[in-house]
Amino acid sequence: MKNLLNLSMVLAILLISASCTNELIEQEDMNLEAERITSCSSQNPKARITNNGSDDVDLEIFDESGTLLGAAYDVEPGTVSSWKSFSAGVIEFKISTAISVKSIVIDMGTCTGYDVTIDANNHLDTDQPIGF
């Protein structure tokens, strides 16, 4: 009987602890989502390149009139360039290696980014912007 009472106390404490923990995790998730939503307020779009391939790669960013807005040259395999910020609008991303050139045109709004990823086969793995 003594062990049964101790066991029921332990189970009650565990049940209470589990309930509190779930609420804290849910609240933390809600706080992170709210921070993500409010952290970007009309910030310029940005882009970077992740090179998971075996060749060096270049990223050039052009506006509608063909003006170079930013670039990351000779991004080595296994590395990631820094983010390049530019004005919102229709943007051409030119991704090139020694053997190929690919252009992607995206209408980039504020609070968006383009994380260009080159896969292990030296192919472009992404062509959609992400929100910040």
| Reported confidence tier of residue 30, pLDDT bands at 50, 70, 90 | low
Give mean pLDDT, residues 101-127.
92
* Angle formed at CA 83 by CA 98 and CA 32, multiple of 5 degrees: 135
Inter-residue contact 108 to 129 (CB < 8 Å)? yes
Residue 102 has a pLDDT of 94
Q: What is the pLDDT of residues 90-104, one digit of tens each?
A: 999 999 998 899 999
Inter-residue contact 131 to 112 (CB < 8 Å)? yes
Residue 28 has a pLDDT of 66
* Tokens standing for residue 30: 């809600």
Statement: residue 1 has pLDDT above 70? no
Average pLDDT, the chain: 85
